[in-house]
Structure 1
Amino acid sequence: MKSHIIMADIIKSSDHNGSELMSAFKNIVKQVNDQMANEIISPLTITLGDEFQGVVKSLPAGINLVFQFDRLLLEKDFNLRFVLNYGEIETAINQDNAYGMLGEGLTLAREQLETVKNGDNRFSINGYNEEIVSLLNKGFKLYDYFYSQWTTKERMIVSEFLKGKDYKEVAKIFEKDISTMWRKEKSLNIAEYNTAKEMIQIIGKNAA
């Protein structure tokens, strides 16, 4: 049966303290599993130390999971690279964890993850119709242009904006002048980032 497979791994995991990184990684995977359980068929399961895989209900669900991870990771010091692949799983889907499943879709997803590791892009979408794949991969490249430009300090500020706070509230949190935070919101391209996200979500919904 064709299924929506998600895989991800930590970028440059060897640059971090191993035990601290794995603790944070496990916590964030559990957090997303809990928060988005209604969109997941086979729970996100850590497989090779710094990687996870799972099966979601739809392409829009996979996209939402990616965005949820990235939002939560703004408050961490590491990033993930992602693969979304629509492909065959020949065995029964394990609804307890993502172990014990076989199929060409899983094999291709893992191959795609290896390809992404050796390239410049953080995302790879495959297995859907050609036009959707092209639009989503371009959309994620645009999305990541904004996401990847933020420094560690800026990520904390962006995280507050993405929680729905306005520049006055964010200025108060970081003890900054209101006008300074207004300019900061503009320079961080928050609106453009959100537009890129919305564009990707629209493409995903139209493909579903």
Structure 2
Amino acid sequence: MSDQLKITLIADMIASRKMKERGQTQVLLQSILDSINAKYKDDIETDFTITLGDEFQGMVTSVEKAFLFVDLITLQLQLMTKRDIGEEIHLRWGIGIGKLATPVQENGYSIGMDGPAFWHAREAVESVRRHNDYGRLNEKILTGTEDEHFYNSIIRIQNVIRNEWTTTQKETAYSILKAFHYSDWTNQEVKDVLNTDLNQHFSDQTISKRIISTNIKQYTSSRQWLAKHIEEWRMAHDN
């Protein structure tokens, strides 16, 4: 149906059936997805949509945006559930790159769509479910090529960094990613963002400590360069 290589994301909530406040968590997740769909509509080919109570999917325009949405949705859900229900909820993600066997739906949703892009994403999320590296792996990408082993070796290290963040470090990382994505920034710019987002007045020393402790510069640079490498492969094979 399509010779283009599309980028699909499928995610689900980990241990959702054991949640104390499952209904409230689903409401929070829906509000996050609605916000992402509205703010980044030019970067989303089909909206992030809840397909089951604990699972959602969407299709995006670039690998970098796929990584960014994984980061933003993951961190925001963790922070909101920790704040509102006292229980930090985690997601597992599958990113699939491949062709479609069905057309992109005009209604902006991916429910009912099929093809290798979705098969790879589904296989990836199921792989994370089976092998989560002692809870430190939340994300995998499948492309149907040998290079995916290289991609996932880097993602595994990135996930270790992200999963070691404390709540304070997650607040810092989330604000930086939301404001600057994977682009460069200065300490003063981060200070301004955190002062606004957290309604506090941080010292230069505190900002510096937060940046260093999260390894956020290393994390975002790694995400950006891996996305660039995969995107170059995707465009070279997109015919």
TM-score range (shorter-chain normalised) is 0.7 to 0.9
SS of 1:76's equivalent? helix
**For each residue in 1:153-191, what CA deviation from the matched residue of structure 2 results, as whole angstroms up to 9, or x when unmatched?**
332233334436434774794455543442232122222
Question: Out of 103, 108, 111, which is 1:92 matched to?
Answer: 103
Q: How much identity, in percent, do the aligned residues show?
A: 22
TM-superposed CA distance for 1:144, in Å, is: 1.5
Q: In the aligned structure 1, how far is the partner of 2:7 from the partner of 2:103?
A: 14
Q: Which runs of 5+ in 2 are unaligned?
A: 82-88, 181-188
Alignment partner of 1:23 is 2:27: yes
Give me the TM-score of the superposition, normalised by structure 2. 0.73
**For each residue in 1:132-165, what CA deviation from the matched residue of structure 2 results, as whole angstroms up to 9, or x when unmatched?**
x233212222221221111223322333344364
Question: Out of 134, 155, 161, which is 1:140 matched to?
Answer: 155
Question: Out of 71, 82, 95, which is 2:93 matched to?
Answer: 82
SS of 1:106's equivalent? helix
Which range moved further: 139-148 or 22-31? Answer: 139-148
Aligned residues: 207
SS of 1:92's equivalent? coil
2:184 corresponds in structure 1 to: none
Question: Out of 224, 231, 235, which is 1:198 matched to?
Answer: 224
Residues 104 and 140 of structure 1, relative CA distance in 2, 3 Å threshold: closer
Residues 185 and 45 of structure 1, relative CA distance in 2, 3 Å threshold: same
Aligned Cα root-mean-square deviation (Å): 2.8
Give the conservation status (yes or no) of the 8 Å contact 1:74–1:159: no
Give the conservation status (yes or no) of the 8 Å contact 1:7–1:54: yes
Residues 91 and 190 of structure 1, relative CA distance in 2, 3 Å threshold: closer
Q: In the aligned structure 2, how far is the partner of 1:127 from the partner of 1:193?
A: 22
Alignment partner of 1:113 is 2:125: yes
Residues 167 and 57 of structure 1, relative CA distance in 2, 3 Å threshold: closer
TM-superposed CA distance for 1:16, in Å, is: 4.7
2:73 corresponds in structure 1 to: 69
Alignment partner of 1:157 is 2:160: no
TM-superposed CA distance for 1:81, in Å, is: 1.8
Q: Which runs of 5+ in 1 are unaligned?
A: none
1:124 corresponds in structure 2 to: 140
Q: In the aligned structure 2, how far is the partner of 1:61 from the partner of 1:187?
A: 25
Which range moved further: 8-17 or 69-78? Answer: 69-78
Residues 161 and 138 of structure 1, relative CA distance in 2, 3 Å threshold: same
Residues 101 and 182 of structure 1, relative CA distance in 2, 3 Å threshold: closer
Amino acid of the residue matched to residue 82 of structure 1? W
Q: In the aligned structure 2, how far is the partner of 1:149 from the partner of 1:47?
A: 30
Q: In the aligned structure 2, how far is the partner of 1:206 from the partner of 1:88?
A: 16
Give the conservation status (yes or no) of the 8 Å contact 1:142–1:196: no
TM-superposed CA distance for 1:23, in Å, is: 0.7
Amino acid of the residue matched to residue 152 of structure 1? T
Q: In the aligned structure 1, how far is the partner of 2:64 from the partner of 2:170?
A: 25
